[in-house]
A and B are shown apart, each in its own frame.
Chain A
Amino acid sequence: MISRLRAIAKKELKQLIRDTRMLFVIFSFPVLLLVIFGYAVNFDVQNIQLGVYDQERSDISREFINSLTSSSYFKVTKTISNYEDIKQTLDKKDAQVVLVLPKDFSHNFFSAKEPAIIQFLIDGVDGNSASIIQNYVNSAVYTFNLKYQKQIVARYGKSLQIPIDLQPIFWFNPDLETTKFLIPGLIALILIVSAVITVALTLVREKEKGTIEQINVSSITTIELLLGKSLPYLIVALINASLILLAGYVMFGVVVKGNYLLLFMSTLIFLFACTSMGILASVISDSQQVAFTIATFVSLLPSVILSGFIFPIDSMPIAVQILTNITPAKFFIVVLRAIILRGAGLEAFWTQLLYLILFSSILLGLATIINKKKTEFNR
């Protein structure tokens, strides 16, 4: 078993190493993507134009506004005094986001019974910026809450009612550094896309050239073939992951707070899930073109939209939230953010890893069954 698997893997690796053009693409593309994306994202989000409609004008409301503007991410460009003005402000693009603080803001804030309800109206035309702004807002509110929660508890001795009601989604990255925050998502995205596509092409290439027949007629089993094919790409993707992380450090100062071994193991598990996706795509397809299309589609789209990379999963409809489980990126992003940004240990994300292992096994099992069906019956 091992010797046949090794024969396949060795051959695949040799072919890959000889294909210098492919190697160049594999290793340069991800880093390039990271740089482009990273800077694009970085530039986009500075100096968000903030309109403020503070109905109460209390100390605490002013302090909340200050907490937003003290970072370089928000800048008050408009002060609003009635509701009609809000619409105008957004229509005329005098602000990208309007904050409304109600009259009872301070009352509810300190009441420890009902949370203070505040409103953010975000210009949704540019969906991408909108969700980034939303992420900022969430983080800012949470940071603010955190700061006051202890004071309130100390003063009233009451339970930990959240002063302002906004779901805390990003409770790490408190200093609101988007780039750092987005890097894990980017890493996951780039890795999954490159791994799935490269693997997807391997088996189908042999189908096109006809060399697969020679393999099928040998005593090799399907699982040996599929694992042997994935293995070299797994190694390549691991090297890629290190390169991206290095680029992340050099370009954007992203430092891994957590354990490197843990990071390595988690990445390996994630990449295994990716190569399993690629193998499945390769097994289903009969031409490189089809395989490429399927691989791009299943790796890129869900990883951007459903992974929580840009759009927070918690704010999606329930049905869509369930759907997010189809992308391994979702789970890896949680793990990466935990390890890189928070320095968390295994206890914080072992369920994610478990899911990834389950995911890989199911996909690989499926690929094995389909490949057997396709080769042993009808060509």
Chain B
Amino acid sequence: MMNSITINNLTKRFGNFTSVDSISFDVKEGEIFGFLGANGAGKTTTIKMLCGILSPTEGDALVAGFSIKKEPNKVKLNIGYMSQRFSLYNDLTVEENINFFGGIYGLNGSRLLERKQWVLKIANLNGKENLLTASLPGGIKQRLALGTAVIHRPKIVFLDEPTSGVDPISRRNFWDLIHNLSSDGITVFVTTHYLEEAEFCNNIILINAGKLIAEGSSKELKTNYLKNDLYEIECSNVVDALEILEVQNFVEETSIFGNNIHISVNRNFSSTQQIESVLLSNKDIKISRVNKIVPTLEDVFIHLLERDKK
């Protein structure tokens, strides 16, 4: 399969602050590519460079075969971009927004008409063309924004946190849409804070403080980066329990997941009784459950970020 995006030592500095630090990776044609990282990790900065609206300080990338450094305008012809900040005009109607974005991509006449129908269909806005965009619910707005971002049928679309601040059902529907685009052959490059969404991606990159720290499919990430077994403990007095577990020699890492504790264990670990006995030394702790679990992406990322900190 061909590469849709090839990134080579891409770096962006603002003054002496390095926002993106020499990252390299490939994105294959037609895949859904998840680009993950905490707040301020450098996701938006990277996307802007890949879209040709921010020039890299060092390194380069080929997007749809064109260098973002030398031919940013050719790059633009082949991509769609849904920015993190809301990109539709709230004071325009649905149809006016579609006409506008179609217009700046040079669509007119029957092509515009055809694409307009398509956007209305995917956003569920048929018959609501004259509604003011401000009056639309968030989920619908996001679908409309996605529709306008790909109105010109680009080869690649960049979505920067497209589902932030939207209810779970709308998010689910939005991901169905992303899958549809992908099966039409469009490469989808998407950032998100929701790790359960990352499971929908064919490939994932994790960056932290501008540096790439992990890459692979969700399955690869779980097996390649997390060697230790993982246990989940459900108990009362979580904070005290955590304090006790942290200092045990059979425990590698601890973290809190909702009301539960996750620990990764090392060679010194023999059975779950070990856990129970150390916790029960404190009378205030009541254990309801201890069991081995399959790691989630979140476990992997917390592990990686903790390791990165050290």
A residues with CB within 8 A of B = 3-4, 6-8, 10-11, 14-15, 18-19, 209-211, 213-220, 375-379
Which residues from chain A contact B105 at a C-beta distance below 8 Å? 4, 218-219
Contact A219–B92 (Cβ < 8 Å) = no
B residues with CB within 8 A of A = 48, 51-55, 72-73, 76-77, 79, 81, 83-89, 91-92, 96, 99-106, 108, 149
CA distance A1 to B46 in the complex (A): 30
CB of B133, distance to nearest CB on chain A (Å): 11
Using A4-B103, A11-B100 as known contacts, say yes or no to A18 and B91 having CB atoms under 8 A apart.
yes
Contact B103–A3 (Cβ < 8 Å) = yes
Cβ contact of B52, chosen from A214, A217, A378, cutoff 8 A: A217
Q: Which residue of A lies closest to B97 (CB)?
A: A11
CA distance A301 to B99 in the complex (A): 40
Contact A210–B53 (Cβ < 8 Å) = no
CA distance A15 to B91 in the complex (A): 6
Using A7-B100, A7-B104, A14-B96 as known contacts, say yes or no to A217 and B81 having CB atoms under 8 A apart.
yes
Which residues from chain A contact B102 at a C-beta distance below 8 Å? 7
Which residues from chain A contact B73 at a C-beta distance below 8 Å? 219
Most buried by B among A14, A217, A220: A217
Which residues from chain B contact A209 at a C-beta distance below 8 Å? 85-86
Q: Which residue of B lies closest to A218 (CB)?
A: B104
CA distance A7 to B83 in the complex (A): 20
Contact A217–B51 (Cβ < 8 Å) = yes
A-B contact count (CB 8 A): 84
Contact B92–A15 (Cβ < 8 Å) = yes
CA distance A216 to B105 in the complex (A): 11
Contact A210–B83 (Cβ < 8 Å) = yes
CA distance A8 to B149 in the complex (A): 16
Which residues from chain B contact A378 at a C-beta distance below 8 Å? 54-55
CA distance A375 to B84 in the complex (A): 17
Which residues from chain B contact A376 at a C-beta distance below 8 Å? 52-53, 55, 72
CB of B82, distance to nearest CB on chain A (Å): 8
Contact A210–B85 (Cβ < 8 Å) = yes
What 7 A-B pairs have minimum CB-CB distances, sorted nearest first? A7-B103, A210-B85, A218-B104, A11-B100, A217-B81, A214-B87, A213-B83
Using A18-B91, A211-B89, A213-B87 as known contacts, say yes or no to A10 and B55 having CB atoms under 8 A apart.
no
Which residues from chain A contact B84 at a C-beta distance below 8 Å? 210
Using A219-B106, A375-B53, A378-B55 as known contacts, say yes or no to A214 and B101 having CB atoms under 8 A apart.
yes
CB of A124, distance to nearest CB on chain B (Å): 51
Most buried by B among A11, A209, A214, A375: A214
Could you show 25 A-B contacts with beta carbons less than 8 Å apart?
A7-B100, A7-B102, A8-B100, A8-B104, A10-B100, A10-B103, A11-B96, A11-B99, A14-B96, A18-B91, A19-B91, A210-B83, A210-B84, A210-B85, A211-B85, A211-B87, A213-B48, A213-B83, A217-B53, A218-B76, A218-B101, A218-B104, A219-B73, A219-B77, A376-B72
CA distance A215 to B105 in the complex (A): 9
CA distance A10 to B96 in the complex (A): 9
CA distance A378 to B89 in the complex (A): 25
Q: Which residue of A lies closest to B55 (CB)?
A: A377
Which residues from chain A contact B53 at a C-beta distance below 8 Å? 213, 216-217, 375-376
CB of B126, distance to nearest CB on chain A (Å): 21
Using A3-B108, A217-B76, A378-B55 as known contacts, say yes or no to A10 and B99 having CB atoms under 8 A apart.
yes
Cβ contact of B89, chosen from A11, A219, A220, A375, cutoff 8 A: A11
Q: Which residue of B lies closest to A225 (CB)?
A: B104
CA distance A213 to B89 in the complex (A): 13
Which residues from chain B contact A216 at a C-beta distance below 8 Å? 53
Which residues from chain B contact A215 at a C-beta distance below 8 Å? 104
Which residues from chain B contact A4 at a C-beta distance below 8 Å? 103-106
Q: Which residue of A lies closest to B148 (CB)?
A: A214
CA distance A375 to B96 in the complex (A): 25
Contact A3–B106 (Cβ < 8 Å) = yes
CA distance A168 to B47 in the complex (A): 65
Q: Which residue of B lies closest to A16 (CB)?
A: B91
CA distance A8 to B101 in the complex (A): 9
CB of B189, distance to nearest CB on chain A (Å): 13
Known: A218-B76, A379-B48. 6 other contacts (CB 8 A): A3-B103, A7-B100, A18-B92, A209-B85, A213-B85, A219-B73
